[in-house]
Amino acid sequence: MGEAAGNPAITEPVQSEDFYNRVRASGTGYFEVGSSVVDRKVGLEYYSFMYGNGHLEMDSKSAVSNKATNVHGTLNGSDVPLNLLEDIRMSYSGKTPMVGMKYIHSNDFYGGIGAEVWEYFEVTEMERIQTTYFASTDAGSQVSDPVSAAAVRSTSPAHLVGMDMQSSFNGTWESDYRWHKIFYKDAKEHQTFSGVFDVERTLRFHESATFKGIPGI
């Protein structure tokens, strides 16, 4: 059996489908915040939800597109095209724990790479800065000039699944990561922190035939 081939980036459609959301909130009381995105054409499954009853300060923004050139993020100082980008800055304090979860999956059945990340928290205090990003489409697939298309592809990290986080909390935070490819790859990791902690994390699953890499990796 020969070496398994990597997944090529997914060809983008001619017509784009885009979503953008910005939320700023400050106050005390009960809240629920949730979002989900399932797009089989780009191999994406994404769910995020949290609720609590206490004092909340939050500034969040998210953008999703089936054309990566419509969503740009900065990773280690490099401007890169993405299919999903979510930034959140928040703080919470309350006698009632805030409970939340996040899940992102690059579904290999629909052209992704099989990487998935799950996290869960239950906290009475938390400060969190987190960026979640995903890239799976060929940003140069709709560029007619071959030289220009190659230049666009050289900046694209597809396929990429990642989360960067800085957090201080009182409570429990858990995460599980898995990268599974049938017959030849199965990488897993689990983390649990329960108590009072400061946590910094940079997590990336990356597979690309053309991208030269993100500085800092």
Tell me the pLDDT tens digit for each residue of 29-64: 999 999 999 999 999 999 999 999 999 999 999 999
Tallying the residues shown for the chain, one arrives at 217
Whether residue 190 has a cis bond before it, omega within 30° of 0: no
What is the average per-residue pLDDT within 131-137? 95
Task: At 87, list the tokens.
Answer: 């930034």
The whole-model pTM stands at: 0.88
Distance CA 150, CA 172 (A): 45
What is the average per-residue pLDDT within 148-168? 90
What is the average per-residue pLDDT within 201-216? 72
Distance CA 163, CA 201 (A): 8
